[in-house]
Structure 1
């Protein structure tokens, strides 16, 4: 796939997430309804201010960059102001850089008659003062410019800005969409990607296309272009489903003592280098489909494991929480026997 690099680094030196970033609307692989709606508004020159929100890696930034490149072609750089609000998020940026860009009209109007674009990525990290300063600017320069706000959490955008924008939610990508992109990259890079390897990448990626492509590139480079499920789990440091299933059987086995279970889990985490919070997330995913547990046991385990996960994220020690995991399974087994 040809990608317009705009005179920057050669495509071979780029990470795959940039090398295979769509450069036009017809190269996007997901959210067809949103893409078609944006394309129709672009053709009718009725593009509104927009607020794109959703989980990371779902194509929000790629969609807007592809829109800008399709709309402006060679004039893309001069007609767009792209800023990451994580770095530039204060009121001074709104008053100086953004206002300077939107207040200056093009000397020669665009042949397509399209307005300028201000793309504010990670807009949920903008300060409240900057967001309040932006709301008046959106109305004042609407004839000359359109504002595109991109964020993960729309609740962090003040209501006054939300009401001025068309809200579009980008959901996580489906397995079929991700698999199609993976096979396309594998073909372009001449890499052998097995079916179980592709499914493992999708499983670890969790609907995040950016994460999926990074995992694919890392695994292919670490295993000489031969990507299977074993290589994926080895490269990412994520426990394989078979290991999680094996340990769940051990925890649910009433004949195994607390000490033996603790020693077995600690040995596996240390020998494989797994992170306890990753292990806990995957364990819960398999736990909710276990048919050997009663609804009451499943409910108790879900609440208890969520508490342990919260404590881990607050910085509590792994060794104590490791014992807590074994303990809640012992309690659940006793509940089932009651």
Structure 2
């Protein structure tokens, strides 16, 4: 016999990074000069081919979507094709999906063009880029291309010469903090000041990462404070790293090694430790600027070695020893080859 009772449907909440994604150019955070250029294009209505480059999470793809909404309005769904070139990056995609969309007839407002948005375009193969170059040329009367990439030097010169190039810089800490405060206010998030500072510190100008870490910390632990943020982000605590650097500044290699042993025993990888060393030393006011620059240079060399595969605690220990030696005898240190 059929049951008369109805089962309740589960409710799913959007990730905050999607829930609070801007839909108008005015709402995009940061890079105001570039956004102003896009607003001029939106008002003019004649969009050129665009190549937008910059670090992840700073609003490249979002800006293009806002521009597309502003240009096409209700015709957005029919007039826009979005592809992530890191997944679909072969020559067949250009020959089939892109070419078919470029040939398709769509009813658009007068003077407007169809838009093809290629995210992660620097992942496309050289063959696909060569095929894309010709497609951009043939269908430019009806279709415009917007390419978003992290490194514009991986895009072939013929495509770069056909595009207006917009470069995005990473967001400032103040811009990220302002957006996080807005979201905390709307979502009734309980936070401490050092918790938000920790989110900004771990994000390094990446708005997407900052919002994701905020949601993860609030949902998982119920309070956004510094300790909870570093648990969620799984990064060495800056207080420990600061102790390590101050010990190096005092040329106390034993204390520096003790802190390193504590951090390493907690299970952090060498690349996480060296990355946090770099981030912390940049903002340490207790170390003079000249010494800070020397420290950054040595940390950079060690980071390079770790990325090449030598990710051991011995490598990190050698880095700390070199930092201590810098403070012991800078002149003699220059003559030593490591």
| TM-score (structure 1 length as normaliser) | 0.87
Distance in 2 between residues matched to 1:87 and 1:274, nearest whole Å? 31
Residue matched to 1:229 = 226
Alpha-carbon distance change, 261 to 186 in structure 1, aligned in 2, over 3 angstroms? closer
Secondary structure in 2 matching 1:307: helix
2:284 is the counterpart of 1:284: no
Residue matched to 2:239 = 242
Offset at 1:13? 2.4
Alpha-carbon distance change, 298 to 230 in structure 1, aligned in 2, over 3 angstroms? closer
Alpha-carbon distance change, 55 to 321 in structure 1, aligned in 2, over 3 angstroms? same
Residue matched to 1:262 = 257
Mean CA deviation greater in 84-93 or 27-36:
27-36
Alpha-carbon distance change, 249 to 43 in structure 1, aligned in 2, over 3 angstroms? closer
Alpha-carbon distance change, 287 to 25 in structure 1, aligned in 2, over 3 angstroms? closer
Alpha-carbon distance change, 45 to 302 in structure 1, aligned in 2, over 3 angstroms? closer
Matches within 5 A, 1:1-338: 12-106=12-106, 109-224=107-222, 226-254=223-251, 257=254, 261-271=256-266, 273-287=267-281, 289=284, 295=290, 301-336=295-330
**Unpaired segments of 5 or more residues in structure 2?**
1-9, 333-338
Summarize deviations over 1:218-271 as a string: whole Å, max 9, x none. 1111221x21223222321223332222122233444554xx643441123313
Offset at 1:159? 0.9
Q: Assess if the C-alpha contact under 8 Å between 1:262 and 1:322 holds in 2.
A: no
Offset at 1:64? 0.8
Residue matched to 1:4 = none
Mean CA deviation greater in 262-271 or 177-186:
262-271
Superposed CA RMSD in Å reads: 2.4
Distance in 2 between residues matched to 1:322 and 1:158, nearest whole Å? 39
Summarize deviations over 1:192-216 as a string: whole Å, max 9, x none. 2332222221111000111111111
Offset at 1:292? 5.4
**Unpaired segments of 5 or more residues in structure 1?**
1-9
Q: Assess if the C-alpha contact under 8 Å between 1:11 and 1:19 holds in 2.
A: no
Distance in 1 between residues matched to 2:249 and 2:86, nearest whole Å? 45
Mean CA deviation greater in 205-214 or 30-39:
30-39
Distance in 2 between residues matched to 1:34 and 1:317, nearest whole Å? 39
Offset at 1:177? 1.7
Q: Assess if the C-alpha contact under 8 Å between 1:183 and 1:193 holds in 2.
A: no
Secondary structure in 2 matching 1:163: helix
Mean CA deviation greater in 58-67 or 229-238:
229-238
Residue matched to 2:7 = none
Distance in 1 between residues matched to 2:294 and 2:278, nearest whole Å? 12
Q: Assess if the C-alpha contact under 8 Å between 2:51 and 2:147 holds in 1.
A: yes
